[in-house]
């Protein structure tokens, strides 16, 4: 027996695994950047139809080549209030099917082309001035590195085919008995939890099986455990998230745990099915000592398990939701005093981070609109509701805090180097947040004017009071319309916003002109007149800031 060079094996194995993981991450990151906005729009429009959700989850995961990225996005979207748990179930099931594409990519024998693929990808990523071409280069680079890493791992395992100790060690992972199946499942589970990538552990499993160190039965049992192990990523992502996001993570875990449990009990029939549908003997040994058909059997087993399991739970989604609701009871905690949707752990996922920011800004806008509504009663009443005044002042402090926190989050997002589209969107959100905070300041100022009006016993004429109420109502409708521009982000609202803005300008100018006429006729004293003019000036400022929101969303500010 030849002496084994253990350092050579360990170095090749570690280097191969590192290159494989980096390749998966680079390819996934590139594909996410290329498809980021499309994914966000798809999730935004998703209905509660779990069949559609399954197709979306499958497609997104197949595209970005990472079920972990998809499930983490799901946690982010649920936590941001962009998706309901019922919608997430279908996507989770689809993601489990989509992740099996990675094992089929590994089966494709293009290892000999890995080096030129890496070279072309690197050239595009490093030297292209076109952002989209650079991103395609990164994805291609990752694709090539994936196969380079796989080849290195196979090379590392090659000398072990004749080592009795290793043959004895891997012989314990098989399917000769029920305890042996459970041992193999547990090994796959633990390995995936440690590596944090089912794609990597499946790659290792295929590399071991190709070199004859694992039988197909052992590899199939390991892959079942790897399906459970991959749930750790979503569970970790849900830490600190809201209850709905935690429930989504638990659904992912239960889906795989229950599926693997019943598959273990029908394991011999499962193996026979795979061997029947895949050409070539599953444990056939070629002249060079490798097993040429085993990788396809492993990929097929991975796909069949996830497809069958997904179809089972697709029709039992309601029961799954009820079960996780019992396991994780309680209602979503909401508070006006703190950030409800933003989670800094999603800074590296710009589409999710922006979705969280948008929900937080919409929440902030609701408070600002409430403040302006409360101004209406204060403008004309002679006896202020002190509770409402105090509530308005409290809301103004909260909106100041929200503006600071949202801006801090968006600034950190911009510093992380998102793509140009995401960066532009983040800048627009920053502008909207600033404008809303300014409107909140003027709502507070209006309340202070009304407090002064009460303290000085100022009484406006009937026509002046009616003018304030009419212009306030028109301005409130305009503010709500500008926020609708933000929520829908449709450029077609621009012309209506411009038209309403000009109409408001004319209304406020007419009220000021009427006020000057009343002063000239001696129908209004100086003190009430100054206060009335201050209120109209505040109206003018609120109109201006509202218009800035509409223009910022369509890229004019």
* pLDDT tens per residue across span 522-557: 666 766 778 888 898 999 999 999 988 888 876 544
- CA distances, 166 to each of 52, 211, 483 (Å): 47, 12, 66
Task: Give residue 492's pLDDT.
Answer: 55
CA dihedral 413, 416, 422, 423 (to 10 degrees): 80
What is d(CA 38, CA 268) in angstroms, rounded to the nearest whole number? Answer: 42
The class (CATH top level) of 344-553 is mainly alpha
Task: Give residue 439's pLDDT.
Answer: 94
- CA distances, 149 to each of 24, 336, 404 (Å): 10, 50, 45
Assign 98 a pLDDT band (cuts: 50, 70, 90).
confident
pLDDT tens digits for 450-471?
888 888 888 877 888 888 888 8
Q: What share of the chain has pLDDT > 70, as a percent?
A: 82
- Worst-scoring range by mean pLDDT, 84-93, 122-131, 473-482, 493-502? 493-502
Residues of the chain with CATH 1.20.58.220: 344-553
pLDDT at 79 over 70: no
pLDDT tens digits for 104-120?
877 776 666 778 888 88
Q: Is 451 exposed, middle or buried (0-12, 13-18, 19+ CB in 10 A)?
A: middle
For 509, half-sphere exposure in the C-beta direction (CA atoms, 13 angstrom radius) is 6
Sign, CA dihedral 205-70-97-144, equals negative
Sign, CA dihedral 517-522-527-532, equals negative
Which of 154, 139, 119 is CA-nearest to residue 13? 154
Evaluate whether 327 touches 67 at the Cβ level (below 8 Å): no
pLDDT tens digits for 346-362?
787 788 788 888 989 99
Q: What share of the chain has pLDDT > 90, as a percent?
A: 12
User: Mean pLDDT in the chain?
Assistant: 80
- Reduce the DSSP state of residue 315 to 3 states and report it: coil
Helix 526-553, helix 462-488: angle, nearest 10: 10
Which of 490, 113, 194, 347 is CA-nearest to residue 105? 113
The full DSSP string for 379-393 is: HH-SS--HHHHHHHH
Residue reference for tokens 């001696």: 522
160 contact partners, CB below 8 Å, separation of at least 6: 4, 9, 166, 167, 211, 213
Assign 1 a pLDDT band (cuts: 50, 70, 90).
very low
pLDDT at 428 over 60: yes
What is d(CA 225, CA 195) in angstroms, rounded to the nearest whole number? Answer: 13
Helices (H), 416-525: 420-455, 462-488, 494-520
The neighbour count for residue 88, using CB atoms within 10 Å, is: 30
21-49 b/e with 16+ CB inside 10 Å = b?
bbbbbbbbbbbbbbbbbebbeebeebeee
pLDDT tens digits for 289-345?
677 788 889 889 899 999 999 888 888 888 888 888 888 887 654 444 567 788 777
* pTM exceeds cut of 0.85: no
Evaluate whether 429 touches 408 at the Cβ level (below 8 Å): no
- Average pLDDT score over residue span 377-397: 84
Task: Give residue 365's pLDDT.
Answer: 92
What is d(CA 322, CA 85) in angstroms, rounded to the nearest whole number? Answer: 11
Can you give the length of the chain in residues?
557
What is d(CA 304, CA 306) in angstroms, rounded to the nearest whole number? Answer: 6
For 472, half-sphere exposure in the C-beta direction (CA atoms, 13 angstrom radius) is 21
Task: Give residue 542's pLDDT.
Answer: 92
Query: Tokens representing 497?
Result: 């916003």
Helix 216-229, helix 198-210: angle, nearest 10: 170
- Average pLDDT score over residue span 124-133: 84
Task: Give residue 440's pLDDT.
Answer: 92
Query: Tokens representing 524?
Result: 């209004």
């Amino acid at each position: 027996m030849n002496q084994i060079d253990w350092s050579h094996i360990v170095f090749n194995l570690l280097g191969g695994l590192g290159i494989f993981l980096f390749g998966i991450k680079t390819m996934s990151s590139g594909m996410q950047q290329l498809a980021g906005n499309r994914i966000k729009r798809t999730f935004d429009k998703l209905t509660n139809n779990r069949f559609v959700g399954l197709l979306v989850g499958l497609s997104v995961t197949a595209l970005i080549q990472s079920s972990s990225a998809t499930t983490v996005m799901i946690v982010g979207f649920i936590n941001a209030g962009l998706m309901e748990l019922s919608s997430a179930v279908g996507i989770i099931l689809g993601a489990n099917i989509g992740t099996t594409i990675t094992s089929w990519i590994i089966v494709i024998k293009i290892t000999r082309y890995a080096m030129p693929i890496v070279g072309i990808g690197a050239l595009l990523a490093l030297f292209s001035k076109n952002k989209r071409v650079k991103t395609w280069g990164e994805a291609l680079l990752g694709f090539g590195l994936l196969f380079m890493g796989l080849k290195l791992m196979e090379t590392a395992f090659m000398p072990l085919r004749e080592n009795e100790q290793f043959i004895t060690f891997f012989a314990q992972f098989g399917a000769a008995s029920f305890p042996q199946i459970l041992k193999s499942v547990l090994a796959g589970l633990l390995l995936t939890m440690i590596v944090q990538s089912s794609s990597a552990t499946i790659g290792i499993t295929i590399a071991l099986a190709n070199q004859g160190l694992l039988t197909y039965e052992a590899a199939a049992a390991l892959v079942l455990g790897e399906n459970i192990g991959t749930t750790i990523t979503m569970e970790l992502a849900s830490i600190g998230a809201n209850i709905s996001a935690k429930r989504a993570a638990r659904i992912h875990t239960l889906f795989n745990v229950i599926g693997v449990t019943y598959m273990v009990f029908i394991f011999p029939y499962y193996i026979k099915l795979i061997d029947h549908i895949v050409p070539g003997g599953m444990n056939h040994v070629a002249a060079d000592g490798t097993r040429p058909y085993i990788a396809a059997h492993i990929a097929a087993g991975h796909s069949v398990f996830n497809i069958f399991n997904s179809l089972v739970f697709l029709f039992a989604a309601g029961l799954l939701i009820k079960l996780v609701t019992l396991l994780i009871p309680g209602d979503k905690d909401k508070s006006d005093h703190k950030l409800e949707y933003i989670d800094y752990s999603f800074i590296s996922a710009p589409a999710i981070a922006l979705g969280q920011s948008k929900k937080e800004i919409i929440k902030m806008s609701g408070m600002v609109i409430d403040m302006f509504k409360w101004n209406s009663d204060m403008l004309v009443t002679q006896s202020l509701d002190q509770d409402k005044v105090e509530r308005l002042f409290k809301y103004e402090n909260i909106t100041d805090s929200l503006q600071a926190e949202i801006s801090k989050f968006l600034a950190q997002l911009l510093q992380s180097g998102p793509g140009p589209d995401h960066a532009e969107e983040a800048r627009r959100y920053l502008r909207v947040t600033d404008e809303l905070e300014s409107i909140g300041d003027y709502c507070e100022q209006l309340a202070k004017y009304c407090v002064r009006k009460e303290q000085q016993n100022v009484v406006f004429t009937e026509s002046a009071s009616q003018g304030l109420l009419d212009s306030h109502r028109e301005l409130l409708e305009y503010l709500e319309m500008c926020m609708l521009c933000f929520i829908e982000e449709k450029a077609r609202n621009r012309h209506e916003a411009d038209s309403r803005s000009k109409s408001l300008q004319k209304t406020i100018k007419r009220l000021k002109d009427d006020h000057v006429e009343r002063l000239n006729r001696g129908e209004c004293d100086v003190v009430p007149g100054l206060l009335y003019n201050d209120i109209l000036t505040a109206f003018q400022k609120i109109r201006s800031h509202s218009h800035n929101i509409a223009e910022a969303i369509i890229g004019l500010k």
